Amino acid sequence: MFKNILNELYQIDSSLRRHEKELIKLIQELLDKKPEVVLDKSFRKELREELLKRTEKPSLFLPFLKPVGFVALGALIFAAVILPFIGKDFESPFRFEAQKVEREGFGNLALKQEEVLGKGGGMTEASAPRLEMVDYSYSYTGEDFKVPEQMEVLKKKQAEVSFELGSFLSQKEIAGFDISKLKDPCLENFSLKDKDGYSVNVDFSSGLVSIFKLPVFQGGNVSEREALQTAESFLKEYEVDLSNYSEPEIRENIVLYPLEIQGKSVYEMSGTKTGLHINVSSEGVIGLWNLSFLSYESSVYMTASKERILSFVQKRKFNIPSPTRVIELELQDPEYGYVRFFREADEFLVPALIFPAYENGKYVESRVVPLIKEVLDKIESDSGMMRE
Amino acid sequence: MNIEEAVKLCKKGKLEKFAFLYDSYVEKIYRFIYYKTHHKETAEDLTSDTFLKALEKINSFKEGSFQAWLFKIARNTVIDYYRKKKSVLNIDDVWDLGKTDNIVKDLEMKEKLEKVYDSFSKLNSIQREIVLLRIWEDMPYKEIAEIVGKKEGACKMIFTRAISKLKNEIPLILLLLLCSKIY
């Protein structure tokens, strides 16, 4: 082991050979200091039993804890969308699919300048804090990286089911109005409310489903473990398809299931992950939002150069003209992801690089850089940044 | 049965074979998490979370080292744990908290960890992690790279810099020890 470690060190820095004795002493000291951590036998046994118990079940989810009034609701949520189509085959709108269209098939992503930005927040002067004049500067210290010349942009499309439902409903006469005269109708949204006050809202134009209890009932805080168990039981009970969501993250009483498209996380420009939110209290699940339809079209667009990406990510966060303090953050190796981007009502998932930012080695935040040239043009022009 | 066979069988639905994987790695994973938390109950909770996630996601394991995949889950579980605490403590792992006095309740372990604190606290979190995996776990760089999400070459470079840094600290540590003995 010593020999291998020393050889590896010398491959990187041959001058270390002169210090071989010191290095051997140092490595030996580190080995000597390794604490003997002993795993508790009863814990080991209990966890093994728990794992084996779970392997016996088809699902890993825990039993439903507090059904409250959701039994009727669960039937409503998804059956409401599906009910008219019993016997028909159609793709679940909650499962990711992307239909390819021609190159730059969504037009100029930077059009409608006054409308495009704004839903994601992030690196604009408007978000600068008013009282504290603190700004953040960034320097990239990671490895060199390459960006492909072109990448696929995804555009969310209206789920087929909304057209099917529109067509189905338009066969009826409603309040004396013959809606069958409408041409190619599609259902934009609908709400269902059950007798316990649970409201299910399905918005086909944004492709989002939300559920709330009205009026909002009070409930106490729960531990992280309880919050997770309650959320997972609820999702299991109503067979919510989580194949496009990664491991849940818990923030107080909210469980976030981050959206994951083609193995990549989806971010807002602010650097936070987007996904399915479930609000939990001691009374059970009290709200669910951002359950997203995942039908997309994909089209190829030109990317920005690596130099421009680095220039963008190293801009100051708020761009305050005379900050009272500037905190210097170090950006490390990025990973690929998507960022949500809006052009009027159209929602796009734009390929992005996500740079983790550290202060003195401690993670602080993530910086998101869209990789498509037109999108960067738009953001920089909106935020008044000078492009190189 | 070896690790590869057990993984294959699990992916084919014979999940009871996961017990073999658990038995093979539970000590290592617990130790890895304990080094990052210094707290028995927390390390046990995060070890449970790690294996439950691994069992749930076993079908998403495609190729490479199963050990690296499992350590990566453990590492992300610990990162999530500290990120959730970020509003209170801005830390990556327990070494950033300062001396271990208030963290380790187990007196014997506290003494052992204090011995290594002076060395590890001089490194940043990624340096610490790579030194720990390479020296304490004797893990090859290829697997370390998979776990920490960096390239193999970068891991070697980080390790070399960390060792150089520790080497340069030795005379100072010795001097301090000497002074403390004199006075």
Is residue A170 scored above 90 in pLDDT?
no
The DSSP bridge partners found for residue A186 are none
Do residues A237 and A277 both lie within one domain?
yes
Chain A partners within 8 Å of B63 (Cβ): none
Measured CA to CA in angstroms, residue A254 lies from A74, A146, A277, A279 at distances of: 20, 37, 7, 5
Do residues A81 and A216 both lie within one domain?
yes
Of B81, B90, B136, the closest CA to residue B113 belongs to B136
Chain A partners within 8 Å of B148 (Cβ): none
The DSSP bridge partners found for residue A245 are A259
Is residue A176 scored above 90 in pLDDT?
no
Asked, for residue A46, whether it belongs to a domain, the answer is: no
Q: Residues for chain A: how many in total?
A: 388
Q: Where are the domains of chain B?
A: 3-182
Among residues A292, A317, A349, which one ends one of the domains? Answer: A292
- Residue ranges of E strands in A259-345: 260-261, 264-267, 275-281, 284-292, 295-302, 325-331, 335-343
Per the structure, how many domains does chain A have?
3
Asked, for residue A342, whether it belongs to a domain, the answer is: yes
Do residues A77 and A202 both lie within one domain?
yes
Cα gap B177→A29, rounded to integer Å:
15
Asked, for residue A191, whether it belongs to a domain, the answer is: yes
Q: State whether A362 and B96 contact (CB < 8 Å).
A: yes
Chain A residue whose CA is closest to B25: A44
**What is the reported pLDDT for A357?**
93
User: What is the distance in angstroms between the Cα of B102 and the nearest Cα belonging to chain A?
Assistant: 18
Return the structure tokens found at A369.
Answer: 């850089």
pLDDT in tens, B76-103: 888 888 777 654 555 566 555 544 444 5
Do residues A339 and A311 both lie within one domain?
yes
CA A51, A55, A56, A62 dihedral sign is: positive
Give this prediction's pTM: 0.52
Asked, for residue A63, whether it belongs to a domain, the answer is: no
Asked, for residue A170, whether it belongs to a domain, the answer is: yes
Do residues A92 and A217 both lie within one domain?
yes
Residue A93 pLDDT level (bands cut at 50, 70, 90): low
Is residue A57 scored above 70 in pLDDT?
no
Do residues A263 and A321 both lie within one domain?
no
Do residues A325 and A193 both lie within one domain?
no
pLDDT in tens, B23-34: 999 999 999 998
Q: How much is the mean pLDDT over chain A?
A: 78
Q: Domain of residue A18: give its range.
A: 2-32
Asked, for residue A123, whether it belongs to a domain, the answer is: yes
The mean pLDDT value for A372-378 works out to 92
Do B179 and A28 touch, CB atoms closer than 8 A? no
For tokens 């080995």, name the residue: A31
Residue A376 pLDDT level (bands cut at 50, 70, 90): very high
Q: Residues for chain B: how many in total?
A: 183
Do residues A232 and A368 both lie within one domain?
no
Among residues A292, A313, A333, which one ends one of the domains? Answer: A292
Residue A159 pLDDT level (bands cut at 50, 70, 90): low
Chain A residue whose CA is closest to B95: A362
